[in-house]
Structure 1
Amino acid sequence: MSYPPPSGPGWGEQPHKGDQPHWGEQLPYTPPPPYGQYGPPPSNSGNMNVMAILALVFAFVFAPVGILLGHMARRQIRQTHEDGEQLARWGLILSYVFTGLYLLFCCGWIGLVVWAGSNSGTTT
């Protein structure tokens, strides 16, 4: 008893010209965009500045260190053209905000302690 040979694209048949490319096939060459038009944005292979990431992290952990790291990251990014400018900027913004809130809280706490400890003249 003989069976008919298997058929289909995976059994020796060549795909038609209009089919989607299969795994392992190379796509046809696409020329660059014409002169005067924008091409894809340049990529610098994903080099993220580590200090920019740390500036954002330290904005929540210990804000004064976040300020220092944010300024250092922005200087490095200007020199090396790495990614992370927005991370460094947000790290700086949040670090300054949290440092200001911390100083406001400390001044309010000191004022409350001085006010509560002051003699109001009611003692005998």
Structure 2
Amino acid sequence: MSDPQNPAPPPDGGIVPPPPAYTPDPTPPHASAGAPSAAPAYSQQAYPSAPPPAYGAPASPTVPGKTLGIVAFILSFFIQLVALILGIVALVQSKKAGHKNGWAVAAIIISSVLMVLGVILFFAVVLPLLTFSSEALQACQAVGFEGTVTVAGIPIDCSNVR
């Protein structure tokens, strides 16, 4: 008599053969030789489904530099120089892995265009405005901050300047 808690080791050295593979029966159980054929019976697949991904593993392969490209794209509207650098880094990472990175390309283009527009805006608007205000201050100092002076054809009330 064998003990269920301590079974005897198998005689072939402990190697247990694998269970036989599942093969579906091609004839349905209700079919008989003389009976008319009913709708075909479908059987289970012979192969099990794929196991789920390991815990903590990404569900799909990620493109290197894609997240950095998205961050660069968002920053390209606010901090153009940082976005340009991050976009270039993201694009290089993606190209090394053999992938395309549209986010990085968009970040590079947008940040470059906005930087050029910022420089043009500085020289076209801000710099002349600063120069004009400096000339107005000098003109008002010359008259003792009283009365009205004309700078570049624009009259300025010096009593409000100080």
Q: TM-score range by the shorter chain?
A: 0.5 to 0.7
Runs (4 or more) in structure 1 with deviation over 4 Å come to 119-124
1:86 matched to 2:108: no
Q: Name the CA distance, whole Å, in 2 between partners of 1:46 and 1:59.
A: 26
**Aligned residue for 1:40?**
none
Q: What secondary structure, in the 3-state scheme, does the structure 2 residue paired with 1:61 have?
A: coil
Structure 2 residue ranges without an equivalent (≥5): 1-38, 46-59, 144-162
Alignment match of 2:71 (pick from 41, 51, 54): 54
Q: Name the CA distance, whole Å, in 1 between partners of 2:132 and 2:61.
A: 55
Count of residues paired in the alignment: 85
More helix by share: 1
**Aligned residue for 1:115?**
132
Q: Name the CA distance, whole Å, in 2 between partners of 1:111 and 1:121.
A: 16
**Aligned residue for 1:64?**
81
Deviation at residue 68 of structure 1 after TM alignment? 0.3
User: RMSD of the TM alignment (CA)?
Assistant: 3.0
Question: Structure 2-normalised TM-score?
Answer: 0.43
Q: Name the CA distance, whole Å, in 2 between partners of 1:76 and 1:96.
A: 20
Flag the structure with larger Rg. Answer: 2
Identity of aligned residues (%): 19
Q: What secondary structure, in the 3-state scheme, does the structure 1 residue paired with 2:62 have?
A: coil
More strand by share: 2
Structure 1 residue ranges without an equivalent (≥5): 1-15, 18-24, 27-44
Q: What secondary structure, in the 3-state scheme, does the structure 2 residue paired with 1:47 have?
A: coil
Question: Structure 1-normalised TM-score?
Answer: 0.54
